[in-house]
Chains A and B, each alone.
Chain A
Amino acid sequence: MTAAMVPAAPASGRPRARRLSRAIPGRLLRLELRRNIVPWLLPLIVALFWFDSFRGSLGGPPLWSVRTFLSLGQGHVVIDFGPLVAGATAWAGSRDFRSRTTDLVTVTPVPRWAGRLAAWAATICWIEAAFGACVGVMYWADARQVAWGGPPLWPVAAAAAAVAAFAALGFALGTLLPSRFTAPLAAFGAFIALVLSSHAGFDPHSTSYAQILPVNGQGLIKFDTGVFYPFQPDVSIARLIFCGGLILTALGALGLPPGSGGRTLRRVAAAVTVAGLAAVATAVGLAGTARLEAHGIVIPALHDAASDRPIPYTPVCTSAAIPVCVHPAYRQYLPAVTEALSPVLAEVSGLPGAPARVTQVPSSYLEPQGAASITGSPPVLRLPIGDLGLPLPATDDAIFEQQVRLAAVHAFVGAGGGLGSPAQQAVQAALLTRAGVPLSAQVGLTIFSQTPAAPVRAAAERLAALSPAARHAWLAAHLAALRAGHIALEQLP
């Protein structure tokens, strides 16, 4: 349609002009939706998502925390989408430059800022639709196997915002610095930033500010997250604010150059940019106040006390003399745990402090991984099963069995959260040997079983070689002193 074909305005032209001006954004959006590069890239993005996040999601034990650990906890879904999205939007943003129509479109009735926003909006519609479909299919596939709890939704929102932020930054780069190199550099820049930030997440010395990065998985999701306690949304909310701020900043910057619109419009763009920068600074500041607590990362200003309340459940127990109880989410691991514990329970049966019951407790972010304890009267062995290497399928995994035995024996000798005294290490090694874990297999099972020093190893071999009655008698007489750390290695029989 040319200008000549536009029907002449009637006498009351103002209402018609208003109707037209209202219709233009919708038309522009439809036009941009039709002529967008993203649909052509979708097969590739979906293939990457399937290859990385989807396959990784289906491979783990049937817990929401495990299924989403790779894709959302470590942000692989953002790595699958982010680089291609940044490149595609940079390509879309530099369209006027490529077509040499920059001057032409500047004189159209629609302000350039509005035109650019329409192009970005169309691109983000495609991207977020694809993102939602991919994550939806992944959750649907997981939901068929996970029997307890619901999927975490806040990390999905944060990841979607991160993808939108890459889209906004790529689009702004393509619009403001157009060249044939902008799209590849935006794509690879996003890729490098994402991979480097994921490594920042695994650095034990990283500050809490690093939690704001969308692929930083440290402390966000642990195996028992969402099982005993709800998913903590604090970090995800801070990331939403951060990414929202980046989006506003990038989109506001599109309206700042001369020719983007009238003076009022450019002032609005400047205000949007400033608001975006303020949101980014606020989010980074909030991340700086984050602290690791027993059930995840907490940001005091965003924290809802409701997410600290445990989720009620009825444990699933065996009916043996020493019952073993697990959370219903771990029901399929009950036979394996019971079988793993039976030689240990038989070995310590009748000794002071021997557990009369075994119960699963939530793994804590603050305690060493796999640290069990025996407390109460009658004594209860509290076992953080989620911290041990959960096998798939749930049975027939020697390493899992050995880890369960090690956790139980380590708690029994009273070694606490460390390696324990040399005498405790020797008794632990001897009891594990008797429970079917040879000395050579004990090294490196968990952090509580390192390569023993020669005297410790020799003492363990001596104790294990004793007759069951002699070992039982010595343990019965010395267990209290051993747990208190008052027994020297030389005092072992």
Chain B
Amino acid sequence: MTAADAHRPPGGTGTTQAGRASLTRSRPGRLLLLHVASRRVPAALAVLAACGVLLRLGLQWHWINGNGPPAAELPVMIEGAAAAVIAVVTGSPFGEPERATGRWLPYLRLADALGLTLASAAVLAAGAAAAGLPGGTLAIARNVAGLAGLGLLSSAVLGGLLAWIGPIAYAVVAEFAIIEAWTTPWMWPARPPHDWGAALCAGLALAAGLLVAALRGARDPAHE
């Protein structure tokens, strides 16, 4: 189907007044659906659901023993994976020409990033429900938000398809921070869930990521 076929005005060759009104009403929803499909959001949701299942299995079968700092390692890795998925979704299959398609694009990108961040936090919280996750839902929400923000910033610098590099580099450092009990709020996964400084840093990262993702989007690679 082409764009021309998408909403052919009914009943004739010209566009009637009623047809135009119908087109305006249906356009935002359809546009959102097409945008979501172009970014492989359904597949991303499936991967996020798999992350939730993985977290559940890891917590239930005690893949990491003990309740000390090491117990927080597995959730942080899975939260990082979820953030990487959110980040790679920002890559556009159309490249630069898409930027000239209208004023809705920033809103669509924002909706994508925000929706997937909320979905991943919800999926991981559901996966960890009643499984004794250190820090609980609050830690999941904070960590996913911060890591997703880093991923979105990374996509603006490296391009959507390489945006996973930011979250994984941060997650590797965060593992050391957890083991060595760092106190800097910029390593928020190593801080307790009620730490305001860590929450603020993660929130700042998310806000910056969403802003950049909405206004600028992922960098379009000129070539590999």
Residues of A within 8 A of B (CB): 35, 37, 41, 44, 48, 51-52, 79-80, 83-84, 87, 91, 95, 98-99, 179-181, 183-185, 187-188, 191-192, 195-196, 199, 203
- Which A residue sits closest to B86, measured CB to CB? A184
A35-B224, A191-B77, A191-B168 known; A184 and B173 CB under 8 Å?
A: no
A91-B162, A181-B44 known; A83 and B172 CB under 8 Å?
A: yes
Whether the Cβ atoms of A87 and B63 lie closer than 8 Å is: no
Within 8 A of A (CB), among B57-76: 63-65, 70, 73-74
With A181-B47, A184-B164, A192-B78 known, 18 other A-B pairs at CB within 8 A are A80-B172, A83-B168, A83-B172, A98-B224, A180-B40, A180-B91, A181-B43, A181-B44, A183-B161, A184-B81, A184-B88, A188-B77, A188-B80, A188-B164, A191-B77, A192-B81, A195-B64, A199-B70
Whether the Cβ atoms of A98 and B161 lie closer than 8 Å is: yes
- Which B residue sits closest to A200, measured CB to CB? B63
User: Which B residues are in CB contact (< 8 Å) with A184?
Assistant: 81, 84-85, 87-88, 164, 167-168
Within 8 A of A (CB), among B134-179: 160-162, 164-165, 167-169, 171-173, 175-176
User: Which A residues are in CB contact (< 8 Å) with B43?
Assistant: 179, 181
User: Which B residues are in CB contact (< 8 Å) with A35?
Assistant: 224
Whether the Cβ atoms of B85 and A199 lie closer than 8 Å is: no
Q: Which of A52, A91, A95 is within 8 Å of B176, CB to CB?
A: A52
A180-B88, A181-B88, A191-B172 known; A87 and B74 CB under 8 Å?
A: no
Residues of B within 8 A of A (CB): 40, 43-44, 47, 54, 63-65, 70, 73-74, 77-78, 80-81, 84-85, 87-89, 91, 160-162, 164-165, 167-169, 171-173, 175-176, 224
Whether the Cβ atoms of A187 and B84 lie closer than 8 Å is: yes
Whether the Cβ atoms of A91 and B65 lie closer than 8 Å is: no
Whether the Cβ atoms of B63 and A185 lie closer than 8 Å is: no
- Which A residue sits closest to B162, measured CB to CB? A91
- Which B residue sits closest to A88, measured CB to CB? B165
For residue B65, give the distance in angstroms from its CB to the closest CB of chain A. 7
**A220 to B221 Cα, complex, angstroms:** 45
Whether the Cβ atoms of A195 and B77 lie closer than 8 Å is: yes
Q: List 21 A-B contacts (CB under 8 A).
A: A35-B224, A37-B162, A44-B165, A44-B169, A48-B169, A48-B172, A52-B172, A52-B176, A179-B40, A180-B88, A180-B89, A183-B162, A184-B85, A184-B167, A187-B164, A188-B77, A188-B84, A191-B77, A191-B80, A192-B77, A192-B78
Q: Which of B63, B70, B161, B172 is within 8 Å of A91, CB to CB?
A: B161
For residue B64, give the distance in angstroms from its CB to the closest CB of chain A. 5
Q: Is the interface of A mostly helix, strand, loop or mixed?
A: helix
Whether the Cβ atoms of A87 and B164 lie closer than 8 Å is: yes
**A183 to B81 Cα, complex, angstroms:** 11
Q: Which of B40, B74, B167 is within 8 Å of A196, CB to CB?
A: B74
A87-B164, A180-B40 known; A199 and B64 CB under 8 Å?
A: yes
Whether the Cβ atoms of B65 and A41 lie closer than 8 Å is: no
Q: Which of B81, B89, B165, B224 is within 8 Å of A185, CB to CB?
A: B81
Closest 3 CB pairs of A and B: A184-B164, A184-B84, A188-B81
- Which A residue sits closest to B89, measured CB to CB? A180
Q: Which of A51, A183, A187, A199 is within 8 Å of B63, CB to CB?
A: A199
User: Which A residues are in CB contact (< 8 Å) with B167?
Assistant: 184
Q: Which of A51, A179, A183, A203 is within 8 Å of B164, CB to CB?
A: A183
- Which A residue sits closest to B169, measured CB to CB? A44
Q: Which of B65, B87, B165 is within 8 Å of A87, CB to CB?
A: B165
User: Which B residues are in CB contact (< 8 Å) with A185?
Assistant: 47, 81
User: Which A residues are in CB contact (< 8 Å) with B70?
Assistant: 199
Whether the Cβ atoms of A41 and B161 lie closer than 8 Å is: no
User: Which B residues are in CB contact (< 8 Å) with A196?
Assistant: 63-64, 74
- Which B residue sits closest to A95, measured CB to CB? B224
User: Which A residues are in CB contact (< 8 Å) with B165?
Assistant: 41, 44, 84, 87
For residue A426, give the distance in angstroms from its CB to the closest CB of chain B. 33
**A184 to B175 Cα, complex, angstroms:** 18
